[in-house]
């Protein structure tokens, strides 16, 4: 299958700082990328969907000013957690899809964010 | 929007037995139903998927069935092995250009040797 690379895999930051997470499709052009949040022993909660060159679509309850998403190219999307707080600590994972809806999405390896 | 319910939340079987996980969805426009396996600390991996023009799909020990009228789909694993132990997620979506996937809450499968 296609490869999606996510960095960093782990990050610890101080409360009030911002953290940027990158998601790259290595061998295909990702028309759509998704960002999920996963709490321990829980499911993947969709945060937002981004299409290259346009603004991200956020799910209800997700603060777009806190979780900034940029999808500047067909191979890169970034999620920036701004003014991070301990409650933002979680596992963040991206997925990327090459085709239209109804095609397989490939996941990055995830980022474990700890805010202290 | 789409809502996906998944049952059971935990499932324990003996090695060699079959395991069945069921999901229901709410949006009749959804047309893509993948199943993912996630091992502890790792990314979800697609194990099988089905589209709404097909009722059943099989890949070796894994099969998925889809009932669009009832809006439910199921994962069947036969001859389970200890390495099948993981969390399994169903998802539904695929409609339109966004094609957002909405995931079920997951099923923790334990296969006892």
- Give the closest-approach CA distance of A62 to chain B in angstroms: 15
Residue A80 pairs with which residues in a beta bridge? A20, A68
More confident residue, A40 or A21: A21
Nearest to A108 among B43, B89, B97 (CB): B43
Interatomic CA distance for residues A103 and A99, integer angstroms: 6
Q: Do B102 and A108 touch (CB under 8 A)?
A: no
CB contact under 8 A, B97 and A101: yes
Per-residue pLDDT for chain B (113 aa), expressed as one digit of tens each?
Answer: 788 999 999 999 999 999 999 999 999 888 889 999 999 888 899 999 998 888 999 999 999 999 999 999 999 999 999 999 999 999 998 765 456 788 999 999 999 99
A32: chain B residues, CB-CB within 8 Å: 97-99
The pLDDT, as a whole number, for residue A40 is 83
Give A63-116 pLDDT, tens digit per residue: 999 999 998 888 999 999 999 999 999 999 999 987 665 577 889 999 999 999
> Which residue of chain B is at minimal alpha-carbon distance from A1?
B46
Residues A104, B88: Cα–Cα separation, whole Å? 16
Best mutation target, B96, B97, B98, to test chain A (most A CBs within 10 A): B98
Contacts of A116 (CB under 8 A, 6+ apart): A12, A13, A14, A15, A86
Residue pair A47/A37 in contact by the 8 Å Cβ criterion: yes
């Amino acid at each position: 299958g296609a490869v999606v690379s996510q960095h960093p895999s782990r990050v610890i930051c101080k409360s009030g700082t911002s953290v940027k997470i990158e998601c790259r499709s290595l061998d295909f052009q990702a028309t759509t990328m998704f960002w999920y949040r996963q709490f321990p022993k829980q499911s993947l909660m969709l945060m937002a969907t981004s299409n290259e060159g346009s603004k991200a679509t956020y799910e209800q309850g997700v603060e777009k000013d806190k979780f900034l998403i940029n999808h500047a190219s067909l191979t890169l999307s970034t999620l920036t957690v701004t003014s991070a707080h301990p409650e933002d600590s979680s596992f963040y994972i991206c997925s990327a899809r090459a085709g239209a809806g109804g095609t397989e999405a490939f996941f990055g390896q995830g980022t474990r964010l700890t805010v202290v | 929007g789409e809502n996906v319910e998944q049952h059971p939340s935990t499932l324990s079987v003996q090695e060699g037995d079959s395991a069945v996980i069921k999901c229901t969805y709410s949006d009749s426009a959804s047309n893509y139903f993948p199943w993912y396996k996630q091992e502890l600390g790792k990314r979800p991996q697609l194990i099988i998927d089905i589209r709404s023009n097909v009722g059943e799909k099989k890949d070796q020990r894994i099969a998925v069935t889809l009932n669009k009228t009832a809006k439910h789909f199921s994962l069947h694993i036969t001859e389970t092995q200890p390495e099948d132990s993981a969390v399994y997620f169903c998802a539904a979506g695929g409609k339109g250009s966004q094609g957002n996937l909405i995931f079920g809450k997951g099923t923790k499968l334990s296969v006892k040797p």
